Amino acid sequence: MRKKSNSPVLSNSNNTATAIKVEDDRTGMSRETLKRAFLDNLFYIQGVDQSNASKYDYYVALAYTIRDRLLHRFLKSVETYKKNNDTKLVCYLSAEFLMGRHLGNNLVNLDIYQEIKTVIKELDLDLEELLEEEPDPGLGNGGLGRLAACFLDSLASLEIPAIGYGIRYEFGIFHQLIRDGWQAEVPDNWLKFGNPWELARPDESVEIKLGGHTQNYHDNQGNFKVSWIPDRVVMAIPHDTPVPGYKTNTVNPLRLWKAEASESFNFDAFNAGNYDRAVEEKINSETISKVLYPNDNTPAGKELRLAQQYFFVAASLQDLIRIHLKNNPSLDNFHDRIAIQLNDTHPAIAVAELMRLFMDEHGMGWEQAWSITQQTLCYTNHTLLPEALEKWSVSLFEKLLPRHLEIIYRINHFFLEDIRSWYPGRDDLVDQLSLIEEAEEQKVRMANLACVGSHAINGVAALHTELLKKDTLKAFAFLSPDKFFNKTNGVTPRRWILLSNPALSQLVTEKIGDSWLKDLSQMKALEKYADDSDFGQQWRDIKKANKETLAQYILKTQGIQVDTNSIFDVLVKRIHEYKRQHLCVLHIITLYNRLKRNPDLDIYPRTFIFGGKAAPGYFMAKLVIKLINSVGEVVNKDPDIRGRLKVVFMPNFNVSLGQKIYPAADLSEQISTAGKEASGTGNMKFAMNGALTIGTLDGANIEIREEAGEENFFLFGLTADEVYQRKAEGYYAMDYYEGNEELKGVIDSIKDGYFSHGDTELFRPIVDSLLYDDPYMLLADYHSYIECQKQVAITYRDQKKWTKMSILNSARMGKFSSDRTIREYCNEIWNAKSVKINLES
Ligand SMILES: *Cc1c(COP(=O)(O)O)cnc(C)c1O
């Protein structure tokens, strides 16, 4: 690289006379240094110059330019944590991290977005176009994975020492195509052209054992011991992605593990001349981190999935023990230095693995190992759907993790012994609490394992936590009520407002300053502009411009022309029956049928925008996608409709598409059956960006409505209690169908093949489920939903009123910053404190 003595750039960018370190030169933040670094990277890394570079080449060059500027802070942060001996390290274990594109976010958090935009512009390039070149790393399914990503942003922004641990899937969530109205899945080969954001750390690789059997023995002191003799060993190779905080020096690692064959283990096979076997071993080992299972809220139950879970948990725990023992003489104080949060039960095997490491590998006795394990681990539950609770068959456990099964049996033995002595005769309690489900096939209940092994258990919204205590985990709540916490989810305002809605962000900052970016409750100061007509006009203009941008994108990608004066009525999230996308379809058909009966009816124009992936094996969800597209096909081209209704299904909903959609929404559809959605976080992103919500009293909707004010929220539907009661009484959808002429017309039009070219079979499974077997009770909420939508349209006609409601929604969403959520975890669960990173030391 250039020598500093003859660099004209250096003397320009630095007016101090003192000696300058070489790093300051290479990673300086002056415009000239940035430009020079960018062009150097283009040449030396991509091997092209401005005459033949593609947009992707420019993207990579810029990504390395920014990564270089993160590295000093990253190494300093990690070094600080390793040296520091009296602060807590927060470890977030998650099988999914849905990070979204890094480049734009890193520019925002380093506070150099505008500077870089100018630099790029001086080279006749457009920054936003380069940002679009980055593949969206889709290492998660939906809300749960995105929550983990928002938490990492908040942890670094609050300067909390933290590591995110997960799996470096070679293939993330599939790419969704729509062919003839049906979802088609294409593998997501996101690493095909490399990944400039990650740093492989092969020197910190660890070995992971699998399969085999256990052996008892006595050590030198005569203690009873167990050793695990595996039949396979795979290597876990850490790949670190730096995660910067917003305007802080903190840059935390996201450490993702890649599986590779263990050379030492295969050495025998190679030596014995068994080349084929050694190669096969390599292939088998690498499949562990090959692909993300695309199921949201329904476990796949596959052996490879359990292997994935164990793989990343075992690697992460070994890593943590290594880090701990570098600075501490023993593991006795492990729980004082390290807090481990389990994101759902996917990493729940950590309970048994930590016990195994403490006892079998580090010589600790059972009592102490159990005490430290419990004091270290915390568990977040994410679902109330009974079918979503993970259970692994005992036979699978025996095959893959024989030692862990022994440990789980022993934990269960001591645990149930206590229960029987404290609550004699309470067999019901024992049945509910046992780690083993005694059905025809014995199964390990992962939620129960996580609960006994943790000192803190939390739900993700107030209602969800209440229902966990009352229902799903009631025996645990009875046993240890003090273990239960609520931690209502949040989202980061940096990605979800500043980066995705720059115009709105600029307006807000002009009015109230920029402190809202670090403390979203400051947005309250906007309330005083709620009735200001100039401000209202600016607010509307921004929404309109965001709608224009999305409309252009829809035209370009879908070929559908949408009216930006219409209500943008948006439902984007994973496709699931409990989320009730098909209830929204019933509303569309209701409006359509009204217009067909009376083409001159004065209805307010609407554009219905859908997006979301269905699990590839989830037949009903895929049929719902087909239904949306089929209804769209009829509605969009019916001349009687005169463009007043449009239905758009945007393929491949992911974080980057979300960043385009949330800011352009007028109406946010949050219409799950009450008691089914744990929290939702999409609801928060919409409201922050000024969309009004039509929703049920479910998940965080309840708290959003509380904050926004009930007069600023479109509420409909049964409450969770009413759903429960109605079910107990017996829910007969037919009564609603027979009792509501308009509803009957809507269902009949689907049934009679109106949207399927006369095919009466295609949508029969949906019709049958609605009428005869619907645990989500769509028809019970239909009337209330349609009436509520009528209010939406009436309100929208009053633009002043709508604007005021929109401003108040944005102004009052401070609670839903993930900064607030993380502060609560730090204070009430982790006992973690911020640590300033000093770059000079
Ligand atoms: C926020 C988000 C979700 C979660 O949406 P919900 O409406 O809360 O289900 C899912 N996927 C992506 C890409 C997101 O950004």
Segment 436-461, tens digit of pLDDT: 999 999 999 999 999 999 999 999 99
The percent of residues in the chain predicted with pLDDT above 70, rounded, is: 96
pLDDT at 24 over 60: no
Q: Mean per-residue pLDDT for 249-253? A: 98
Give the predicted TM-score (pTM) of the model.
Answer: 0.96
The helix/strand/coil state of 85 is coil
| Predicted local confidence at residue 816, as pLDDT | 98
Q: Which two tokens stand for residue 756?
A: 């399927």
Type of residue at 211: G
pLDDT at 4 over 50: no
The rounded distance, in Å, linking the Cα atoms of 708 and 670 is 15
pLDDT at 270 over 70: no
pLDDT at 492 over 60: yes
| Predicted local confidence at residue 25, as pLDDT | 63
Type of residue at 429: L
Residues assigned a catalytic role: 382, 573-574, 579, 681, 685
Q: Which two tokens stand for residue 247?
A: 């305007």
Q: For 323-371, what is each residue's pLDDT tens digit?
A: 999 999 999 999 999 999 999 999 999 999 999 999 999 999 999 999 9
Q: Tell me, in angstroms, the distance from the centre of ligand 1 to residue 839's CA.
A: 36
* CA distances (Å), origin 542, targets 546, 547, 690: 6, 9, 10
| Predicted local confidence at residue 835, as pLDDT | 96
Q: For 45-58, what is each residue's pLDDT tens digit?
A: 999 999 999 999 99
Tell me which of 146, 151, 296, 579 to substitute to probe ligand 1's pocket, judged by most ligand atoms within 8 Å of the beta carbon.
146
Q: For 699-744, what is each residue's pLDDT tens digit?
A: 999 999 999 999 999 999 999 999 999 999 999 999 999 999 999 9
The rounded distance, in Å, linking the Cα atoms of 41 and 35 is 10
Residue with tokens 């076997």: 277
| CATH T-level topology, domain 89-489+824-830 | Rossmann fold (3.40.50)
**Minimum CA distance residue for ligand 1 atom 3:** 143
Confidence label for 23 from pLDDT (cuts 50, 70 and 90): very low
Q: Report the atom number in ligand 1 closest to the C-alpha of 98.
A: 13
Q: Tell me, in angstroms, the distance from the centre of ligand 1 to residue 480's CA.
A: 32
| Predicted local confidence at residue 20, as pLDDT | 41
Burial class for 840, CB neighbours closer than 10 Å (0-12, 13-18, 19+): exposed
The rounded distance, in Å, linking the Cα atoms of 816 and 492 is 8
| Predicted local confidence at residue 26, as pLDDT | 75
**Minimum CA distance residue for ligand 1 atom 1:** 682
Q: For 670-698, what is each residue's pLDDT tens digit?
A: 999 999 999 999 999 999 999 999 999 99
**Minimum CA distance residue for ligand 1 atom 11:** 142
| Predicted local confidence at residue 533, as pLDDT | 98
Q: For 647-666, what is each residue's pLDDT tens digit?
A: 999 999 999 999 999 999 99
The rounded distance, in Å, linking the Cα atoms of 483 and 343 is 16
The rounded distance, in Å, linking the Cα atoms of 374 and 760 is 56
Q: What share of the chain is helix, strand, coil (3-state, %, to 5)?
A: 55, 15, 30
Output the 3-class SS for 232-266: EEEEEEEEEEEEECCCCCCEEEEEEEEEEECHHHH
The rounded distance, in Å, linking the Cα atoms of 123 and 126 is 9
Q: Tell me, in angstroms, the distance from the centre of ligand 1 to residue 540's CA.
A: 25
Report whether 698 contacts 673 (CB < 8 A): yes
Output the 3-class SS for 417-442: HHHHHHCCCCHHHHHHHCCEEECCCE
Q: Residue 171's CB: how many other CB atoms inside 10 A?
A: 18
Q: Which two tokens stand for residue 417?
A: 């012994």
Q: For 181-206, what is each residue's pLDDT tens digit?
A: 999 999 999 999 999 999 999 999 99
Among 581, 579, 601, CA closest to 591: 601
Burial class for 502, CB neighbours closer than 10 Å (0-12, 13-18, 19+): middle
Please name the residues in contact with 307: beta carbons below 8 A apart, sequence gap of 6 or more.
Answer: 210, 288, 400
Q: Which two tokens stand for residue 309?
A: 């879970």
| Predicted local confidence at residue 17, as pLDDT | 37
Q: Report the atom number in ligand 1 closest to the C-alpha of 679.
A: 8
Q: Where in the chain is the domain with CATH 3.40.50.2000?
A: 89-489+824-830, 566-816
Q: For 386-406, what is each residue's pLDDT tens digit?
A: 888 999 999 999 999 999 999
Confidence label for 774 from pLDDT (cuts 50, 70 and 90): very high
pLDDT at 617 over 80: yes
Q: For 800-832, what is each residue's pLDDT tens digit?
A: 999 999 999 999 999 999 999 999 999 999 999
Tell me 349's DSSP state. Answer: T
Angle, alpha carbons 777-583-728 (nearest 5°): 5
Q: For 533-578, what is each residue's pLDDT tens digit?
A: 999 999 999 999 999 999 999 999 999 999 999 999 999 999 999 9
Of the listed ranges 122-136, 291-305, 333-347, the one predicted with least confidence: 291-305
Q: Mean per-residue pLDDT for 403-413? A: 98
Q: Report the atom number in ligand 1 closest to the C-alpha of 658.
A: 15
Confidence label for 268 from pLDDT (cuts 50, 70 and 90): low
The CATH-assigned architecture of domain 566-816 is 3-Layer(aba) Sandwich (3.40)
pLDDT at 2 over 90: no
Please name the residues in contact with 478: beta carbons below 8 A apart, sequence gap of 6 or more.
Answer: 429
Q: Tell me, in angstroms, the distance from the centre of ligand 1 to residue 697's CA.
A: 18
| Predicted local confidence at residue 279, as pLDDT | 76
The rounded distance, in Å, linking the Cα atoms of 299 and 293 is 9
Q: Report the atom number in ligand 1 closest to the C-alpha of 491.
A: 1
pLDDT at 586 over 50: yes
Among 713, 649, 651, 682, CA closest to 500: 682
Rg over CA atoms, the chain: 28
Tell me which of 96, 98, 818 to substitute to probe ligand 1's pocket, judged by most ligand atoms within 8 Å of the beta carbon.
98
Q: Tell me, in angstroms, the distance from the centre of ligand 1 to residue 610's CA.
A: 12
| Predicted local confidence at residue 13, as pLDDT | 37
Q: What is the mean pLDDT of the chain?
A: 95
For ligand 1, residues with CB inside 6 Å are: 142-143, 146, 573, 653-655, 658, 680-682, 685
The helix/strand/coil state of 342 is strand
Among 655, 617, 575, CA closest to 96: 655
Tell me which of 571, 574, 694 to substitute to probe ligand 1's pocket, judged by most ligand atoms within 8 Å of the beta carbon.
574
| Predicted local confidence at residue 28, as pLDDT | 84
Q: Tell me, in angstroms, the distance from the centre of ligand 1 to residue 143's CA.
A: 5
User: Residues, the chain, total?
Assistant: 841
